[in-house]
Structure 1
């Protein structure tokens, strides 16, 4: 009886215990779900970074009028792949309940966002080497296969939900776009090596033509001619840029159109899916653990898709407009002809030997047959993909061509215009320096004009930053006599071999001597150092010290310039002799192996002795200072006669990745030194080889052998050098 009465109590206790356990489990699940919205914020933040990077590339392209939009801020690398993996967290999360409107749209937006990102950084494939490309493609492939696999597992799971077929259509389409984008990536990567070699061969060929033209012009280069040389190399550098070559490819064009279609799919999903939910009587709330953060993901990624579509859409539109000029010039069969560089790498791989060492002949033959079968399949897929991309480009170009005929809008109508707007026949002749692949349509002259304007802009920027102090110093030089006078052969050598002279070392030494002269105002000395600031050591420029010797104190303690020169000469001589006495290493017997400070001390000794021999006791401090200023100006002017050769050498760069940067530097240097080139143009020695001025000793030897026939007479160090700086400038300007 007691047991019968207790049973209901026990049953109630069990039920209560189950309820308590269930509540605890529910509370635990809720606690575990509490941080999930913050994960959604993290996803949104990663999406913001990617979106800003894509927008920055678009802004950079519009600002520089480069409508093929190079990947400068958002490219195909480990960082971008890591960020994109974070943005795809929602589609690969199978634990979250994603049956609400916001969740479905967020999943679609994440997939479309990935497709848009891939279309944006596709051109960066052109600037990657093989190893980098293989690693990044492997990472991208693993990530996309994982995303697609998880997406279809989710689709299969929710297919039992009433009305699921009506809300998962866009997700299926979005995964299809991602998969096709991956295939296009692989297809484009197969052509990079072949197209790079082809463009490089054309670049070297055009460089030979340009160099032959430069030799005909001789060592004297007018500034206008030098501008044309820089433009030649700039056209070659830009049109041969690996990213530009990739942007002009048909697969990149098709990728741009596919990105536009993916964006339209997201727009359609935003319109249709809420209507489907409302029509079936379902609520439009959020059901997943991401809660309020789902809407943040949706809004941010939708905006990111809108911003990211700009670059691929303009690449597609620009390529279609460019192709418009070729409509009707080729037959339909020729338009869809597949060039050899698309399949060359696969064919080479198919005909090559196995990378594995297999001893058994039967297995080796089987592996070779399997590989050949696989590569034949890849060739067919490649052929089909390129053919379809060419067809897409042709249809797009025909569409815009007919619209232009109807005069609905005339964007790009001036592409075929020719005339003086592009700088005359001299600039139009630069079109032969355009580097193109086989089968590519010609680049419109409006695009070429933007290319020319960019290099002109760099030259103008250099003009605005011209070295005014250096130009003032160059005006003091009437000839190159300072190159011959700075070192007298009668000065006893401290070693059997003399170290070679550089251009900057004599200038530094003269500047130090000028500072050490007594009875010279600090303002004049500082002005001289500032004028030669590009080649003066930091210690001299900032602290007025030469190898720990205070030049200001030396000028205060010396009564005459002769005392200062003798003090500097003796100090330098002791420094060199101490070094030669302490070092027994046979390597140090060669002056080329000497430390920099010892070479500088040897230069100070020889130049100080040369000035002491030439000056005499009647030389005033002001006269000697003016003479040193002229010597510095002569040496700098002589060194700058090599500027045309330096500028053309900078233009020619072996690395495809660095050519644009190198030519920009040359254009900036041309603008920066244009006035100097005009000053020196009448002073150049016409019979001198353009490579000789690169070395001061060779130029000095040439001048000594020339016996001054092509130069003005050498002024003596005396009363004639006691003119003021203003008088020297006046002679230069009005003489």
Structure 2
């Protein structure tokens, strides 16, 4: 039994660590409503919670010691804390997941409540001190209220998402129109910053967890969590002060020495787990706190339609009956209507009760906000540059522009200016964070080779493929193929080769984003997949389709022989067997054959005089040109990735897009002044429509004629 007690303690520790991880995630990302990322309601967490609640559901063990009694009651307090922390995670679920998890939570909590009631009735709880019975009944009531709040919130979340989704679509259209109404031309960094900031505001204020965390239900659950923790702390302090009794009746159960371990861990869990619900309660009030809001909140406890709309929809919906008797159908229908009318009334009662409970900490929040304002006023007195407490009319006007993109369930509510300013600052912070992670090697390569003239300017020499295929060329495959040829040149110093590999590796990260965002059709996906597998070989193993790039025959000491070896190897590699491996080999071989054949034909009889150093330089130049052509699509990628159709994934998608903008700002600025090829903008994302792959021949010919390559 003591080892079972340690199992309970370990399960409790896992729950605490998950709650701490959510705390750190919230502080790190400046989200004071602390979204649930690690401690969420699912099958795994419910299983761990069930293990952690072993003590209060154990009917077979009397547990008559003082420490046993406190541990059993402390588990109920710990359960209140965990339920308060889990509430925002309901917003991340679809209707099926929500129904399943709510039912599972109901079963777990109802089982816990029933068992505790049996223990109170039989005297198992309160064996020495009858006051423990009252505390146990109090926790039973708190658990029941929290369970009702979770169930009512589950009914509200689906309708809330629908309302927010409609408002998001309207805001997205407004953002696109604003982008088009700005000065014509290619998208620059400033335009992109404003566009991602607009979507950041929509994603942040329209996040399902943000909406749930700012609801009256979450505030009420936070108050209940804080009260239950305070009572548990007081009871523990009271009993521990009775040292003589504690020593006399220390352990009265079979769990023995594991009881204090469980008690201490769950006590810490109550303290740590109270932080997030308390902060959510503060955030829920401070995000929208104003005198007008307080007056409207106190004057009429209005129950908004989204709280009960789901129940009204169920009431008005028809039910398919398997019975044919008309009277039986009428009875079933009337029972359903009566049941739903009762549920609607209960839902309204719970909402009003939650709003009343949420008013309890309002004076504390007002006091905190008053202290913050006084501190800002004090700082402004010693800051000569601050205007009206650190704000100026220009910034005020920008915040008013951003306010159009704030998504809220109630049209008569306004997000406080301080909250809007905080969200705006978080965008700038994330962009600066991305700027520190800019791809330095890639930027250096693009600066060193500023060519862009090959895209769409020259006539292409068509090299027929080795086999009939429906697979289209993608950006990444020729880049990897050209890099493989460059890596194979034995006379090039390892440092130079490694620098090129690093540049291509950084570039392929963004090339992949272009491909996945703008040309992710089935015909492109197969080629892109082959390029990813091939790049892993080239970068990690210095191999090309299983062939060692550094293991040429001794006579292959010139650039021409090496190119011919690649061409012949690729030609011999193509087989007629169509399995997954052969398709990958055929795609890679076809790319290598066409590229090497283009280079060989461009030199004719002068190929033997081409040095490895000159070939490496030109291969690097061509790689840079292809990267340049591909990365001109980055602004379009950023605009595309700002919009995410799945509401649960929207915030993380915009987060990644903002960081992408920060990482690529220097690249976008460098490419801004380069002249685009005379092509349809719709063709720019596709390598096979702008002739970049055929760029090799005219570019090399141009290099020879201009003297960039000197024939020996």
Q: Same fold (TM over 0.5)?
A: yes
- 1:301 corresponds in structure 2 to 266
Change (3 A) 1:254 1:516: closer
Q: What is the CA distance between 1:442 and its match in structure 2?
A: 2.8
Structure 2 gaps of 5+ residues are 378-387, 509-533
Does residue 1:722 correspond to 2:709, yes or no?
yes
Match of 1:630 among 618, 621, 636: 621
- 2:432 corresponds in structure 1 to 460
- 1:597 corresponds in structure 2 to 585
Q: What is the CA distance between 1:391 and its match in structure 2?
A: 2.5
Match of 1:232 among 198, 203, 218: 198
Q: What is the CA distance between 1:703 and its match in structure 2?
A: 12
Structure 1 gaps of 5+ residues are 1-35, 725-735
Change (3 A) 1:557 1:530: farther
Q: TM-score normalized by structure 1? A: 0.81
Match of 2:213 among 224, 234, 247: 247
Kindly indicate whether the alpha-carbon contact (under 8 Å) linking 2:602 and 2:701 is maintained by their aligned counterparts in 1.
no
Q: What is the CA distance between 1:177 and its match in structure 2?
A: 0.4
Q: What is the CA distance between 1:380 and its match in structure 2?
A: 0.8
Change (3 A) 1:657 1:418: farther
1:605 and 1:385 map into 2 onto residues whose CA distance is 71
Number of matched pairs: 669
Q: What is the CA distance between 1:113 and its match in structure 2?
A: 1.1
- Deviations along 1:301-353, one digit per CA (max 9) or x if unpaired, are 22221111111111112223334314467546764211100000011111112
Pairing of 1:116-265 with structure 2 (within 5 A): 116-158=81-123, 165-217=130-182, 218=184, 220-265=186-231
- Deviations along 1:8-64, one digit per CA (max 9) or x if unpaired, are xxxxxxxxxxxxxxxxxxxxxxxxxxxx34433332332222223223322332233
2:653 and 2:566 map into 1 onto residues whose CA distance is 42
2:34 counterpart SS class: coil
- 2:602 corresponds in structure 1 to 614
Choose 344-353 or 37-46, whichever is displaced more.
Answer: 37-46
Kindly indicate whether the alpha-carbon contact (under 8 Å) linking 1:323 and 1:397 is maintained by their aligned counterparts in 2.
no
Match of 1:353 among 294, 297, 318: 318
Change (3 A) 1:412 1:77: farther
1:328 and 1:515 map into 2 onto residues whose CA distance is 67
- 1:561 corresponds in structure 2 to 559
The Cα RMSD (Å) is 3.8
Kindly indicate whether the alpha-carbon contact (under 8 Å) linking 1:641 and 1:684 is maintained by their aligned counterparts in 2.
no
1:375 and 1:277 map into 2 onto residues whose CA distance is 54
Q: What is the CA distance between 1:668 and its match in structure 2?
A: 2.4
Pairing of 1:224-623 with structure 2 (within 5 A): 224-271=190-237, 285-327=250-292, 330-331=295-296, 335-397=300-362, 400-401=365-366, 403=367, 419-420=391-392, 425-426=397-398, 429-438=401-410, 441-484=413-456, 488-489=460-461, 491=463, 500-515=472-487, 524-534=496-506, 535=508, 537-554=535-552, 556-558=554-556, 560-576=558-574, 579=575, 582=576, 595-618=583-606, 620-621=610-611, 622-623=613-614
- Deviations along 1:592-622, one digit per CA (max 9) or x if unpaired, are 9992432333333333333233335456424
1:476 and 1:527 map into 2 onto residues whose CA distance is 13
2:186 counterpart SS class: coil
Bigger radius of gyration: 1
Change (3 A) 1:91 1:698: same
- Deviations along 1:671-700, one digit per CA (max 9) or x if unpaired, are 222221111000142875544221012223
Kindly indicate whether the alpha-carbon contact (under 8 Å) linking 2:16 and 2:269 is maintained by their aligned counterparts in 1.
yes
Choose 472-481 or 194-203, whichever is displaced more.
Answer: 472-481
Change (3 A) 1:485 1:539: farther
- Deviations along 1:600-653, one digit per CA (max 9) or x if unpaired, are 333333333332333354564244433332222111111110011112212211
Choose 175-184 or 268-277, whichever is displaced more.
Answer: 268-277
- 1:648 corresponds in structure 2 to 639
Change (3 A) 1:277 1:205: same
Pairing of 1:628-707 with structure 2 (within 5 A): 628-685=619-676, 688-700=679-691
Q: What is the CA distance between 1:386 and its match in structure 2?
A: 0.5
Kindly indicate whether the alpha-carbon contact (under 8 Å) linking 2:573 and 2:585 is maintained by their aligned counterparts in 1.
no
Q: TM-score normalized by structure 2? A: 0.83
Q: What is the CA distance between 1:425 and its match in structure 2?
A: 4.2
- 1:11 corresponds in structure 2 to none
Choose 114-123 or 515-524, whichever is displaced more.
Answer: 515-524
Kindly indicate whether the alpha-carbon contact (under 8 Å) linking 2:567 and 2:593 is maintained by their aligned counterparts in 1.
yes
Q: What is the CA distance between 1:126 and its match in structure 2?
A: 0.5
1:273 and 1:389 map into 2 onto residues whose CA distance is 32
Choose 145-154 or 491-500, whichever is displaced more.
Answer: 491-500
Q: What is the CA distance between 1:145 and its match in structure 2?
A: 1.9
1:659 and 1:524 map into 2 onto residues whose CA distance is 41
